Amino acid sequence: MAGRIRKIFINTKSLVYAIVIHLGVLALLLFSFDWGSTTIKSSMAKPQVEPIKAKMVSEADVQKQLDRIKAREEEKKRKELEAKKRLDDLLKQQQLEKQRLADLEKKKRLEAQQANALAEKRKKEEIRLAKLKREEDQKKRAAQKKREAEERRRAEEQRRREQAEKKKKQELARREAERQAQLKAQLEAEAEARRVAEAVNDARSRYIPIIQQKVDRNWTRPSGLKGLNAGVRVRLTPGGEVISAKVVRSSGNPVFDRSVENAILKASPLPIPSDRRINEQFRDIQFNFDPDRNFVSSL
């Protein structure tokens, strides 16, 4: 219990100390931290007071001094009057002089005005002349420009015409060349096709017997059947594997037909030419299977 009270007391005291420290720092900062407004220390000048100088004086001296002062004052007054009179005279004179000066000035101004008017007139005349000249020049220049433009236009037209002609000619030549190239290509394609067809025919006459032979080797003769033949249609992959084999012209005997189909499936892969273009012609072939005669292809 007592320990807890002491703890609370200590904590409170600590908090108070902490706050005091922060306030102190803040106050310090507020005092020392002042930007911008530089404090101007006004150096107040002390009013200078002259000490009073005093001296002891006697009565007679005082009287004498007074007399002297009085005399001086009278003198002063007289002098002032005189000065005033003189000043008046001077003022009058000055005024006269001023008047004269003003008259002179007026006269001069009049003269100047007349001169100005003259000068202005002359200037206007000059400006008019200059304007006239400028207009004439402008006209001349415009004419020149027009002529030049005309010439340029004509030259341009000429050039354009020439260009168009040239273009036309080029176009014609190009078309001609194209036509010829097309012709040539056509001819070449035809020749190619012919060549391919020949090659295909050639391959056919070479490969069909081989295929038939292979099928024959894989063929097991159903017992008691002789002198039959069947037309079959075989579909192949590019590699020669048999996809399907079907009798399209039956021999009349289903056993024989089935044996032929089995033989073809067994003979997979069939030998076919590897040349791609010819190979394509061998993807779907038909031939006649006749084991007794030599094979007659009918593709």
Partner 1 sequence: MSLITLIAQASLLVQLVMLILLLASVISWTMIFGKRYAIRDALRSADDFEDAFWSGGDMNNLYSEWSGRRRDPTGVASIFVAGYREYNRLAGKSGVDRGDMVDGVQRAMRVAMSREVETLETHLPFLATVGSTSPYIGLFGTVWGIMNSFRSLGVAQQATIASVAPGIAEALIATAMGLFAAIPAVIAYNRYSNHVERLISRYEVFSEEFLSIVNRQSFQMQKAS
CB 289 within 8 A of CB 212: yes
127 touches partner 1 by CB under 8 A? no
What CA–CA distance (Å, rounded) separates 137 from 134? Answer: 5
What CA–CA distance (Å, rounded) separates 162 from 281? Answer: 57
Given the complex with partner 1, which of 17 and 146 has the nearer CB atom?
A: 17
Closest CA to 208 of 144, 260, 259, 281: 281
Stretch that binds partner 1, among 16-24, 151-159, 218-226, 230-238 (CB under 8 A): 16-24
34 touches partner 1 by CB under 8 A? yes
Nearest distance in Å: CB 40, partner 1 = 16
Q: Which residue has the tokens 């200078």?
A: 48
39 touches partner 1 by CB under 8 A? no
8 touches partner 1 by CB under 8 A? no
99 touches partner 1 by CB under 8 A? no
- Cβ count within 10 A of residue 245: 21
- Cβ count within 10 A of residue 135: 10
What CA–CA distance (Å, rounded) separates 72 from 80? Answer: 12
283, burial (CB in 10 Å: exposed 0-12, middle 13-18, buried 19+): middle
Residue 233 has φ and ψ, to the nearest 5°, of -115, 125
19 touches partner 1 by CB under 8 A? yes
Stretch that binds partner 1, among 29-37, 70-78, 222-230, 251-259 (CB under 8 A): 29-37
Structure tokens at 182: 């097309």
CB 286 within 8 A of CB 275: no
Given the complex with partner 1, which of 2 and 45 has the nearer CB atom?
A: 2
Given the complex with partner 1, which of 13 and 70 has the nearer CB atom?
A: 13
Stretch that binds partner 1, among 17-25, 181-189, 192-200, 265-273 (CB under 8 A): 17-25
Tell me the site size for partner 1, rule CB under 8 A. 21
Given the complex with partner 1, which of 20 and 255 has the nearer CB atom?
A: 20
Given the complex with partner 1, which of 25 and 118 has the nearer CB atom?
A: 25
Nearest distance in Å: CB 148, partner 1 = 49
Stretch that binds partner 1, among 18-26, 68-76, 176-184, 247-255 (CB under 8 A): 18-26
Residue 227 has φ and ψ, to the nearest 5°, of 70, 20
Strands 242-249 and 284-289, sheet pairing: unpaired
Which residues sit at the interface with partner 1, rule CB under 8 A? 2-3, 6, 10-11, 13-15, 17-19, 21-22, 25, 29-30, 33-37
